[in-house]
Amino acid sequence: MTTVDSKSVVRDEKQSDAFGPAASQAEAESTNIEHGRSICSVPLSAFALTSDGHIASPEPIAAVATSCGDGSASLSLGWDALPAHPSLVLAASTLDGRTLFAGCVLTSHKVREDGIHCEIARGGVGERVLAEESRVPTLNTEFFQYRLPYADSVYESWSRAGILKRTVLDRVLVCGKCRSVATFRFACRQCGSGRVAHKMMAHHFACAFVAPVSEFETAETLKCPNCQTKHLVAGTDFEYMPGDNECDVCGWSDRELEQTGHCLNCDSRFAAHKAVEQELVGYHVERLASLADIADLG
């Protein structure tokens, strides 16, 4: 890792044409602030990214933050450390041992005797991957699948680099065929339709006859269709009992309904026990609130 004396960095930057007028430099020197940035010398790690968001190499580049502002900062890199793609992820270690990450993009660089001096700004693909909406799966309303915005390989490379930590956020039951989200209901065992009508049965005590209540009902009274006894009184002459459920679609009749899944994507119906349990995986990261905070870590 390249270590740079903070006073020499300040001296170099004073000589540089790239940074503001001399008067403000003098003012900043007295307060360690230059162009609204804190002058510092904080060792950092930087992960180079590819254009599609993958970590180019799990081995970080050593860097030193020489000045930090809210949305931009200056870095000093080794001679051979200039990344191929301008997107970076900065990793800054805190005094209590945590590592904070921020996505940056290289805006300019200068090759000098002691290495490469570059300007970075917060943003780029790294910052987009680190954003919360990129780390928590959301329901895709076209396919009804929980998805993350980037390819799995992106998250895997970030996890391997130790930036993202894989976390199981929830478990959901999905269709075994297409892995899409399904709705569940108690439905017909035969066709899986939720359009079932519950039939009530009646048990006539005197003759032990059992049939659906509809068979007992006549225009004027309740009458046992077996023994023809009329004017039946519930509780005294007969009792109501739970009967079968009859499917309006296929006509199947059964006492017990089955918990059935209906896939919102492919429309297939399946018994709940045949649904596939899918883990909703998210990623956790500790983000650097502002690039200006890097100065406090020195």
Partner 1 sequence: MLNGWHLWLTSRTWDEVALLLLGMSLLDGPRYCVATAITCIYDWVCGIKRSLFSKQPEVEFSHCPSVCVMVVGLNEGSGLGATIESIIGTYPRVEIVVVDDGSDDDMAEVGRAYASQHPGIVRCLSRPWRGGKSSALNIAATHTTAEVVICVDADSHLASDAIWEIVQPFRDENVGAVSATVSVRNCFTNFVTWFQGLEYLQSIFVGRLVAARLNVLPIASGALAGFRRELLVRLGGWDVGPGEDLDITVRIRRIGYRVTFAQYAFCHTEAPTTWKALVKQRRRWEGDGPVRHFSRKHIDMAKPWHRDFRLSNMFMFLDGITFNLLCGYGMVIWSVMILLHPDMRPHPYAWMTFYIVSVLAEIVALGPLMYYSRQRKHDAIVALAFPLMPAYRMLLLGVRIFSNTAEIIWRKSFTEPHVPPHVRAVTWRW
Q: Which residues bind partner 1 (CB under 8 A)?
A: 201, 203, 205-211, 225-227, 236-237, 239, 241, 243-244, 255-256
Whichever of 4 and 210 has its CB closer to partner 1, that residue is: 210
CB of 238 to partner 1, least distance (A): 9
Which C-beta is closer to partner 1: that of 266 or that of 272?
Answer: 272
Between 1 and 241, whose beta carbon lies closer to partner 1? 241
Structure token digits, residue 193: 């339709």
Closest approach of partner 1 to the CB of residue 203, in Å: 5
Residue partners of 55: CB distance under 8 A and separation at least 6: 47, 48, 49, 89, 157, 158, 160, 161, 163
CB 274 within 8 A of CB 182: no
Phi, psi of 273 (to 5 degrees): -70, -10
User: Are residues 109 and 116 in contact, defined by beta-carbon separation less than 8 angstroms?
Assistant: yes
Pairwise CA distance, residues 140 & 163, whole Å: 26
Indicate the residue among 30 and 236 with the shorter CB distance to partner 1.
236
Nearer residue to partner 1 within complex by CB, 72 or 260: 260
Nearest distance, CB of residue 207 and partner 1, angstroms:
6
Minimum Å distance from CB 277 to partner 1?
19
- Reduced to 3 DSSP states, what percent helix, strand and coil does the chain have, rounded to the nearest 5? 20, 45, 40
We find the least distance from the C-beta atom of residue 269 to partner 1, in angstroms, to be: 16
SS3 155: helix
